[in-house]
Amino acid sequence: MTTATHRGATRPKPGMTHLFIPGPTNVPEAVRLAMNVPMQDMRAADFGELTLPLFDGLKRVFKTDAGRVFIFPSSGTGAWEAAITNTLNPGDKVLMSRFGQFSHLWAEMAGRLGLRPEVIDVPWGAGVPVEDYAATLAADTRHEIKAVFATHNETATGVASDIAGVRAALDACDHPALLFVDGVSSIGSIDFRMDEWGVDLAVAGSQKGFMMPAGLAFLGVSAKALAASAGCTQRRAYFEFADMVRMNADGFFPYTPPTQLFHGLKAALELLFAEGLEAVFARHARLAEGVRQGVFAWGLDLCALEPRWYSDTVSAVLVPEDVDAREVIRIGYERYRTSFGSGLSQLAGHVFRIGHLGDLNEVSCLAALASAEMSLRDAGAAVEPGAGVAAAQEWFRTGERQPRLHAVAAE
């Protein structure tokens, strides 16, 4: 039971506040309980019994046999920085695309770390422009581009991109650039194939598909990327690959690690493998489509411009022009105890985001849609009561898509 302040008084509010943001996501009870353990000696001879299986488990999720996965006590942003500072040098030219807040932040970081980003801007709602990448790489006959960056799942806009297509563009012109992938809101929820797609550096975070609190960043590193780190002159200390390789060999770390989070990660990996990774991906696809069916039944649309861009972990819902998405979010939280994701940067006020990843099922998604319907109506949108929930129910029951409505106006 939680409390809330109303007219100067604090009174209990029964039940839980529902979390439907695209991260941090809900933490399963088994994971929470696994972290409730006494502190232990991170230099003890048997510490590797806890940590070494974690590295192996993460490699299974990243689908890499040839590479390795580092665990940094950090957010995903720290792993971004680790990937850049260990493999690229100041002044290196890199190819990037910008189509949402997180791809924008990645490009900004690249510039701040001394790289020379060549950024292709595309509309927010589209994804990685594979054709433009292919043309740019083919024209780079002197191989001045040292790395290609691709955001697998843009959390701000609910857009997923074709990483295999980026690899094909590199291979078509035999380009040696490293392939960087931001998989923070995809890895563990959407199929990701590090070895098959030739990804050299892939970033994920504990607070998304891994169903844990924020605090751990996972960085998949190929043999090619490790070799590049040996000749890299970029300054670094905390994120030094060589220190991690040396210490991780026996299950240890160059600094005091967050042991309780490791216990949570162990439990989270057990849940993923018990369900089966392919089943996890299929569940996310099924639940995401149910949410989309609900949105379309309201007569609303998504920020993602085409079905090929639809994300299976987050939907960014466009509200009618004379409805403020910030009001939808405020009403949802204050009146219906539900957290939705806000619109970021240029999307502020225009979208609210429903996160549908991690520890959730059909009824979870129906609850999100029901709360969103009430919040939308209270904010002035003329959506039919129950329409979104009913459409999602039919999808979950039968797998049949409902006819789409025309866009709604404000009441």
pLDDT in tens, 31-77: 999 999 999 999 999 999 999 999 999 999 999 999 999 999 999 99
- Residue 406's pLDDT is 56
CATH of the domain at 330: 3.90.1150.10
Domain match, 241 and 115 both = yes
- Residue 53 belongs to a domain with what CATH number? 3.40.640.10
Identify whether residues 209 and 286 lie together within a single domain. Answer: no
Boundary (domain end) residue, out of 273, 307, 333 = 273
Question: Mean pLDDT in each 10-residue stretch from start to end of the chain (411 residues)?
Answer: 50 85 97 97 96 98 98 96 97 97 96 97 98 98 98 98 98 98 98 98 98 98 96 92 97 96 98 98 98 98 97 98 97 97 96 98 98 98 96 94 63 42
The pLDDT value recorded for residue 15 is 85
Give per-residue burial for 118-140: e unless 16+ CB within 10 Å, then b.
bbbebebbbbbbbeebbebbeeb
The CA–CA distances, whole Å, from 137 to 79, 133, 199, 225 equal: 26, 6, 16, 19
- Of 273, 299, 325, the last residue of a domain is 273
113 occurs within a structural domain = yes
Q: Are residues 316 and 235 in the same domain?
A: no
Residues 6+ apart with CB under 8 A from 57: 265, 266, 269, 273
- Count of domains observed in the chain: 2
Q: Are residues 137 and 194 in the same domain?
A: yes
Same domain for 116 and 215? yes
Residue range 105-129, pLDDT digits in tens: 999 999 999 999 999 999 999 999 9
In order of 39, 124, 164, 395, the CA distances from 82 in angstroms are 28, 27, 23, 42
Q: Where does a domain end: 273, 305, 336?
A: 273
Backbone phi, then psi, for 317, in 5-degree steps? -95, 125
Strands in 74-211 per DSSP E: 93-98, 116-121, 145-151, 153-154, 159-160, 178-182, 201-205
Q: Do residue 21 and residue 54 come from a single domain?
A: no
Domain span holding position 313: 2-25+276-398
